[in-house]
């Protein structure tokens, strides 16, 4: 489904450049639930952006569903994002002046789905998230957990093959976090690949596979339970 | 896919509603600009209407010609000869012209600030006394308030009758006195009043006109011993004939009749209303153009204000635009959105300015109609064509206003947008 080969990326800085990804090789197959762990600055968010076609890369190769993503135009990138990918963000990234329903329907708007059908599908999706009674609420009238459910509904509305979640529980308390993780697990159970960027070990533990990133390289990759002493390693690298 | 479906409309309205004060302030500039265009163009039109209404007292196809001294020798005559026309020449011109419908001979006694030449009992006054023919009012329209104008019988019978202007009546007659049938003495010759007129219009010319007296040309010739001499010709150009062409042809006709060199530039003077109209028309279209131009510049200032506010708005909405990009919005959709928002704001503001401007013009118009003296200013208005032109200018400027913000929005990479706070 997703294949990265030797991805390198650096950000230009005054007087040089800062390498962020230093050769990432990664294969993720359809239906996996993967956690990408790492301390801040390890390159995990950049990796997610590259996977999500939100950002380009300097060298290496990226195949999405068997198609090479190198040198994509903005328009093509937008199309692939719209067809294959759904995003969930730490800060929810709901559009503040649109209701929950409008937010969920927005991706369909960009897919040129007729209005009536957009409304119907968005309402169904909110229903699946248990949020149909909040359809007309603005994001500011929703709790953190509710916002994230709306955001997940929005990510799922286009029936994507992959959900990319950037610290989806980062802004939530532990109870709400586990509710959101439950939702993501259900999403994964329906056959959708879920990739979660997190620095919380217990979130990673709820995934099938954990990839640990440090200084722009993958230092560990294995079944979530088998990745060594996440707490200890995580604590040290945070220093 | 530029179609305006309901969601797009909702999005546009949301832009305005989200920050109403800012939308209002930025729209103010454009509204004001359009308002200025409407007001200045309308006012220019009001002035034009006023001037044309005054000119309208004169018949638009009228033309006048008179003789002066020659400046070239011809057929044995020396240069500097003072040429005169008489009534036979007029009949010949009338018979030989292809450009004129009517040729009225006219001759005048006394004149501007002349001596007191007209008396009635103890009253006297200095008035222009014209010898004219029955068709004269066709060239110089007048309102006959009492009695009639001169007729064919007066001319054929060389009757000593006269038609007097309203000012003449005021000066020679007592208040409430009936002038018809009464007599006045013009240079000692007694004339019976058969009509009173008021000139059309109220400019200086018309004031002067009200102090004139018309008597039959034939009577004039005999009574004052002018032997058929003609002072000048008042003519009507035939319908569909170009004024300039008619003027030149008529001059040549007179020159041929009076043995004047065809190239003599001075001997015959002529003046035609149509040419004056054309000059005025040129002046007014110039005024219209200038008011449109300066109005458009005011509008441009407003539009730049909109561009500015859109740029700020894009900066603030970096994150929102990033979210939209991550949800699959193509650059084209973002472009459409930003240009759409700019258009919406600009056109909305423009329409407000338009409605207010037209409203004010109508109000002023109503005010003037109610009898308020506005001098030479009459019926300010703006025609549909001009409004359409203005709207096209507005539309063009709005698109222009939207381009820069839209390009700025496109330059935002989704990932940068998502990273930005707020």
Question: Predicted ipTM?
Answer: 0.83
* Neighbouring-strand partners of residue B325: none
Site from A11, A20, A74, A171 to mutate, B interface, most B CB atoms within 10 angstroms = A74
**Nearest alpha-carbon partner for B79 in B89, B69, B87, B88:** B69
What are the phi and psi torsion angles at B104 (to 5°)?
Answer: -105, 120
Residue in A closest to B327 by C-alpha? A107
Cα angle B72, B76, B82 (rounded to 5 degrees) comes to 55
Mean pLDDT, chain A, as a whole number? 87
Residues B110-143 pLDDT 10s: 654 456 688 888 888 888 889 999 999 888 888 8
Find chain B residues with C-beta within 8 A of A98's C-beta.
14
CA distance A225 to chain B (A): 32
What are the phi and psi torsion angles at B144 (to 5°)?
Answer: -80, 115
Find chain A residues with C-beta within 8 A of B330's C-beta.
74-75, 78-79, 110
* Neighbouring-strand partners of residue A61: A5
* pLDDT at res. A125: 92
What are the phi and psi torsion angles at B43 (to 5°)?
Answer: -65, -40
Q: Identify which of B7, B319, B415 has the shortest CB distance to residue A55.
A: B415
pTM, rounded to two decimals: 0.67
The CA distance from A170 to B237, in Å, is 92
Contact between chains at A110 and B333 (C-beta distance less than 8 A): yes
Contact between chains at B1 and A79 (C-beta distance less than 8 A): no
Contact between chains at A115 and B415 (C-beta distance less than 8 A): no
Residue in this structure with the two tokens 């561009």, named with its chain if needed: B307
Q: What is the mean pLDDT of residues A135-151?
A: 92
Find chain A residues with C-beta within 8 A of B325's C-beta.
54, 78, 81
**Nearest alpha-carbon partner for A172 in A138, A204, A205, A203:** A203
Q: Identify which of A79, A96, A115 has the shortest CB distance to residue B7.
A: A115
Q: Identify which of B319, B326, B333 has the shortest CB distance to residue A81.
A: B326
Confidence of residue A155 (pLDDT cuts 50, 70, 90): very high
Site from A9, A43, A76, A78 to mutate, B interface, most B CB atoms within 10 angstroms = A78
What are the phi and psi torsion angles at B88 (to 5°)?
Answer: -65, -40
CA distance A53 to chain B (A): 9
* pLDDT at res. B116: 65
Residues A48-89 pLDDT 10s: 889 988 888 888 999 988 888 888 888 888 888 888 999 998
Contact between chains at B418 and A54 (C-beta distance less than 8 A): yes
The CA distance from B160 to B191, in Å, is 5
Residues B4-50 pLDDT 10s: 567 777 777 777 777 788 888 888 888 888 888 888 888 888 888 87
* pLDDT at res. B195: 93
Residue B422 has pLDDT above 50, yes or no: no
Q: Identify which of A81, A95, A118 has the shortest CB distance to residue B328.
A: A81
Contact B211, B112 (CB under 8 A): no
More confident residue, B385 or A104: A104
């Amino acid at each position: 489904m997703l294949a990265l080969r030797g991805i390198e990326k650096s950000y230009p800085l005054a007087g040089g450049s800062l390498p962020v990804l230093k050769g990432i090789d990664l294969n993720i197959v359809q239906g996996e639930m993967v956690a990408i762990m790492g301390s801040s600055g390890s390159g995990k968010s950049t990796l997610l952006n590259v996977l999500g076609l939100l950002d380009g890369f300097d060298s290496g190769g990226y195949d999405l569903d068997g198609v090479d993503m190198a040198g994509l135009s903005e328009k093509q990138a937008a199309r692939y994002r719209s067809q294959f990918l759904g995003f969930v963000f730490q800060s929810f990234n709901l559009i503040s002046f649109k209701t929950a329903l409008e937010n969920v329907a927005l991706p369909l708007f960009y897919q040129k789905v007729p209005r009536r059908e957009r409304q119907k599908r968005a309402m169904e999706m909110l229903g699946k998230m248990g949020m149909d009674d909040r359809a007309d609420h603005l994001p500011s009238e929703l709790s953190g957990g509710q916002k994230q459910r709306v955001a997940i509904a929005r990510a799922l509305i286009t029936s994507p093959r992959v959900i990319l979640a950037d610290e989806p529980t980062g802004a939530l308390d532990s109870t709400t976090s586990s509710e959101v993780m439950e939702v993501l697990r259900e999403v994964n159970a329906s056959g959708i690949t879920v990739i979660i960027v997190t620095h919380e070990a217990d979130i990673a533990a709820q995934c099938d596979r954990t990839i640990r990133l440090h200084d722009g390289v993958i230092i560990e990759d294995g079944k979530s339970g088998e990745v060594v002493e996440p707490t200890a390693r995580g604590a040290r690298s945070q220093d | 896919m530029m179609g305006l479906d309901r969601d797009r409309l909702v999005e546009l309205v949301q832009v305005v509603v989200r920050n109403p004060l800012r939308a209002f302030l930025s729209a103010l500039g454009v509204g004001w600009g359009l308002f200025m265009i409407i007001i200045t163009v309308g006012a220019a039109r009001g002035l034009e209407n006023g001037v044309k209404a005054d000119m309208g007292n004169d018949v638009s196809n009228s033309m006048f010609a008179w003789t002066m001294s020659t400046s070239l020798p011809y057929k044995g005559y020396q240069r500097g000869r003072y040429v005169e026309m008489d009534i036979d020449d007029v009949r010949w011109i009338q018979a030989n012209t292809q450009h004129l419908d009517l040729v009225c001979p006219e001759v005048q006694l006394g004149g501007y600030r002349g001596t007191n030449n007209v008396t009635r009992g103890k009253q006297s006054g200095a008035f222009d006394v014209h010898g004219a023919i029955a068709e004269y009012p066709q060239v110089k329209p007048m309102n006959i308030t009492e009695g009639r104008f001169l007729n064919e019988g007066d001319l054929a019978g060389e009757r000593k009758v006269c038609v007097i202007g309203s000012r003449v009546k005021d000066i020679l007659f007592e208040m409430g006195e009936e002038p018809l049938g009464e007599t006045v003495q013009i240079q000692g010759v007694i004339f019976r009043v058969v009509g009173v007129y008021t000139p059309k219009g109220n400019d200086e010319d018309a004031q002067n006109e009200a102090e004139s007296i018309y008597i039959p040309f034939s009577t004039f010739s005999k009574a004052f011993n002018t032997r058929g001499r003609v002072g000048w010709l008042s003519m009507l150009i035939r319908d569909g004939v170009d004024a300039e062409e008619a003027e030149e042809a008529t001059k040549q006709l007179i020159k041929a009749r009076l043995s004047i060199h065809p190239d003599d530039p001075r001997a015959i003077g002529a003046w035609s209303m149509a040419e004056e109209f054309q000059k005025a028309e040129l002046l007014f279209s110039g005024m219209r153009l200038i008011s449109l131009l300066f109005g458009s510049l005011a509008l441009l200032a407003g539009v730049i204000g909109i561009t500015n506010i859109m740029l700020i708005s894009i900066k603030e909405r970096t994150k929102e635009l990033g979210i939209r990009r991550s949800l699959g919005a193509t650059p084209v959709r973002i472009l459409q959105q930003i240009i759409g928002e700019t258009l919406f704001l600009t056109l909305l503001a423009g329409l407000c300015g338009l409605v207010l401007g037209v409203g004010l013009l109508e109000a002023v118009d109503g005010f003037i109609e109610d009898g308020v003296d506005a001098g030479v200013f009459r019926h300010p208005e703006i025609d549909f064509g001009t409004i359409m032109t203005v709207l096209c200018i507005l539309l063009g400027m709005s698109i222009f206003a939207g381009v820069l913000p839209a390009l700025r929005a496109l330059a935002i990479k989704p990932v940068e947008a998502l990273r930005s706070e707020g």
